A = this chain, B = another copy of it.
Amino acid sequence: MFTGLSAFPLTPIPGNGSVDEKAFATLVNRLATAGVDSIGALGSTGSYAYLTREERAHVARVAVDNADGVPVIVGIGALRTLQVLQAAEDAQNAGASGVLLAPVSYQPLTDDDVFGLYEEVTANLSIPLVVYDNPGTTHFTFTDELYARLARLPQVASIKIPSLPADTAKARARVEHLRRLLPDTVTVGISGDAAAARGLNAGCDAWYSVIGGTFPEPALALTRAAQTGQHERALEESQRLQPLWDLFTRHGGSLRVVAAAAAHLGLTAQRNLPLPLRGLDAEERAHLSTVIERLQLHT
């Protein structure tokens, strides 16, 4: 399950309002129809951190109910271990095939804190877990030693790494190093969409993809090219999408961009992010629309 394209849909949340369940169901079902390998509900793109326990449990159920049998991985990160355990229970009850756990922080975490968190959560889990390394939002930096310790815990099935060196040879060396470090049963998935082609070409098993959650077709084209050894074609597809990666950089991450894109495609209302996060302004939306049209992503 933790190979190929894992697509992370937005959870549309209008400002101070409730989750737009209907739009979310449509987003999820669209991914299943497109043929993604798994669906990552309540990832960072799915704004898991902004929702209450009850909202998250409900969103997890809606995701599974609308995934047409495609495996759903549910984000269970929270500041307190207790809340993570509750989210894990709710995800399992919702029918999730796996869970995704980032070490969310307010007080800076130590390696022992983080190991203890994963140890306790995996001991109480009956489905596989993805270790989610996202220093841009958690402000926690994993060491290779910690990766190796976590990978030996029961249920740990994959590690979602944030990026890779820009140099092809260095990226390959890094993935090979991780392979030696981790048991064969644990896959390595690349995150950071701009690094996806490089990562898959370098031997990553999966792409945990933001754009895959809103634009599944180009993400599938890139993934399938890499999976069938067409490395140049994968890189070309990534290069073609460079204007999107540039927008991610300009807007401090991918979320605001894909949220505006989903609205542009008519998949959600214009207001689809939880405040205090503001969406792109009118001028930025107009520019994004141009990019979407030019890249023919509006299908």
Report A's interface with B, CB cutoff 8 A.
Answer: 15-16, 44, 49-50, 79-82, 85, 103-104, 106-110, 112-114, 116-117, 120, 136-137, 139, 252-253, 255, 274-278
Contact = CB atoms under 8 A, between A and B. Distances in A.
Q: In this complex, which of A79, A81, A278 has the most chain B Cβ atoms within 10 angstroms of its Cβ?
A: A79
Given A80-B276, A120-B275, 8 more contacts: A16-B80, A44-B106, A44-B107, A106-B137, A107-B253, A107-B255, A113-B276, A116-B276
B276 A108 contact: no
B274 A80 contact: yes
Nearest to A102: B106
Contacts of A106: 44, 49-50, 104, 137
A253 B108 contact: yes
B276 A49 contact: no
Nearest to A49: B106
Contacts of A16: 80-82, 85
A277 B107 contact: yes
A252 B110 contact: yes
21 contacts: A16-B80, A79-B274, A80-B275, A81-B274, A82-B274, A103-B276, A106-B137, A107-B252, A107-B253, A107-B255, A107-B277, A108-B136, A108-B137, A108-B252, A108-B253, A109-B276, A110-B278, A113-B278, A114-B276, A116-B276, A139-B139
